[in-house]
Amino acid sequence: MILNVTDQKLGKRMTEDVPPQDGPAVSSAWLAEQIAESSAAGIAAAIARLVRHGELAPQTRLPTVRALAPRLDVSPATVSAAWATLRKQRVVAGGGRQGTWVLGGLAVPRPARYENISRYWPDQTLNLSRAVPDPALLPSMSEAFVHALRDPEVHSYEVVSISGPLREAAGRTWPFETDHWMCVNGGYEGLLLLMRTTVVPGEHVAIEEPATPRLLDILDNVGARPVPVATDAEGPIPASLREALQQDPVAFVYEPRSSSHLGASVTPARRDELAALLAGTGTLVVEDDGLGELSSFDYHGVAEVLPDQSVLVRSYSKSHSPDLRLAVMAGAAEPIERVRVYRQFGSGWTSRLLQNALAWLLQDEFATSAVATARTTYRERREHLAGLLSARGLEPTGVDGLAVWVPVRSEHEATLVLASHGIAVAGANASWTKPGPPAIRIATGLPIPDPERVADAVALAVQAR
């Protein structure tokens, strides 16, 4: 059953972007009459309105750019810009020789790589696709919230970038000195805000590759052009970064320790090499410390050397609680200030209750002990599964974190084989800007029931092609 449902849903997603073979078409003359304002924004708004009102049905072919532009007395570039806006909003698809057609309905940009089909899986599916923490290993927050409520500023409407208690608590283990701090609602929100306030659509952003799917989705959302930087067991490779810097990227985003794919952590020697290349370039260094205090490795990021050119984003979701939704970022003054100003459009600040609860947890000996126990337990779970896989002739990778990666012949076939065994895993294809080595990710954060059965199924899956 799972294969039929999955194939049906995947098929729908795969075909909606395929050019219609015999769909209806509208003439450039008719469409031009519906457009009152001939700017790129006006054209896009008019098309969106026609779709919303049902006057342009799904699969309807639109006129070519060169056919519509003279009807509106504008340049082809103006129409192309309107089409690009509509493609980003998933109102239309296509372009170039294949033409442009209506997808139907109005949508918002979505993190396509991050989304998966887990909502279609039966309840009995063993979901090993998400590297999430074990709730049983998280520290108790009851006393933390009691303490947070005692803050005399708890009901204040004053906009603060970070609460005093959290700044003090986080500063005790922060790896470099800085006066510029911000608390945000999770690590990926921090990355999104930094990219949103740094990148002008079309600009380059250097990223370590493989990257997290969420980061690639964020770059798509802000209109950035990613420039991949190859990595090895010690982090980004200097020669590859040197080549990427020739594109004059506005930012370089990487994981300084316990990277989500290799579990790699930057060494002091590698840090110094990277810092020497980045110093004085004007490229903002953004460090994503997603595993945070659960990492088994010391932090040796570029921000230690270039604090005025870098921002470190450290998440506490996996170590202390996903529902705290908290990350702290600190470093260079200008990008932090841009984020502070941009946030005034919306929330303005992060809940002081949550911030002060985390501040208490960071200093409580029982919470600190719980995090240390979790770190050890996660390592044991990861190494146990890796050992079972190695005993079956496989070569799992990942020296830290909440998952292991296993090379396969075909990601698609391997995931189907595992689905037939009632096991769901993630593929590596969403972590690359271009097709990379096929692999699957098996989450180890939660206890795996009958790990021997899982290892046997994986051993079969890697052979599928």
φ, ψ (nearest 5 deg) of residue 3: -70, -40
Q: Rounded CA gap, 28 and 50, in Å? A: 14
For residue 420, give the nearest of 385, 452, 386, 464 by alpha carbon: 464
- Sequence-distant (6+) residues with CB within 8 A of 417 are 457, 460, 461, 464
Please list the residue range(s) of the chain that carry CATH number 3.40.640.10: 141-363
Domain with CATH 3.90.1150.10 in the chain: 112-135+367-463
> Which among 186, 224, 195, 199 is positioned nearest to 347, based on CA atoms?
186
Q: CB neighbours (10 Å) of residue 57?
A: 13
Angle of CA points 286, 289, 295, to nearest 5°: 155
Query: Residue 53 has what pLDDT?
Result: 85
Q: What is the location of CATH 1.10.10.10 in the chain?
A: 28-102
3-state DSSP: the chain helix, strand, coil percent, rounded to 5?
Answer: 45, 15, 40
Q: Candidates 1.20.950.20, 3.40.50.720, 2.30.30.60, 3.40.640.10; correct CATH number of 141-363?
A: 3.40.640.10
* Token reading at 396: 């799992």
| Residue in 256, 111, 129, 249 with CA at minimum distance from that of residue 192 | 111
Crossing angle for the helix pair 187-196 and 213-222, to the nearest 10 degrees: 30
- For residue 21 the two structure tokens come to 């073979």
Task: For 178-222, give the DSSP string.
Answer: -S-EEEESSHHHHHHHHHHTTPPTT-EEEEEES--HHHHHHHHHH
User: Residue 93 has what pLDDT?
Assistant: 87
Distance CA 195, CA 173 (A): 26
Is-contact 40 85, C-beta < 8 A? yes
DSSP 223-287: T-EEEEEEEETTEE-HHHHHHHHTT--SEEEE-SSS-TTT-----HHHHHHHHHHHTTS-PEEEE
First to last CA, the chain: 22
Q: Regarding the domain delimited by 28-102, which CATH topology (the fold level of the hierarchy) does it fall under?
A: Arc Repressor Mutant, subunit A (1.10.10)
| Closest residue by Cα to residue 31 from 93, 107, 104, 102 | 102
pTM: 0.84
Query: Given this model, what pLDDT does residue 10 score?
Result: 38
Query: What is d(CA 100, CA 85) in angstroms, rounded to the nearest whole number?
Result: 13
Provide the 10 A C-beta neighbour count for residue 333.
12
93-100 long-range contacts, Cβ below 8 Å, gap at least 24?
Answer: 93/16, 93/17, 94/17, 94/19, 98/19, 99/19, 99/61, 99/62, 99/64, 100/61, 100/62, 100/64
What SS3 state is found at 444? coil
- 112-135+367-463 is a CATH 3.90.1150.10 domain: yes
Q: String of b and e for 197-212 (b: at least 16 CB within 10 Å)?
A: bbbeeebbbbbbbbbb
Print pLDDT tens along the chain (465 aa): 233 333 333 344 434 456 666 678 999 999 999 999 999 999 999 998 899 888 999 889 999 999 999 999 999 999 999 998 888 878 888 877 778 999 866 666 677 777 665 556 677 889 999 999 999 999 999 999 999 988 888 888 888 999 999 999 999 999 999 999 999 999 999 999 999 999 998 899 999 999 999 999 999 989 899 999 999 999 999 999 999 999 999 999 999 999 988 888 999 999 999 999 999 999 999 999 999 999 999 999 999 999 999 999 999 999 999 999 999 999 999 999 999 999 999 989 999 999 999 999 999 999 999 999 999 999 999 999 999 999 999 999 988 999 999 999 999 999 999 999 999 999 999 999 999 999 999 999 999 999 999 999 999 999 998
Give the DSSP letter of residue 60. P
180 phi, psi to nearest 5 deg: -120, 115
Could you tell me the two tokens for 427?
């593929």
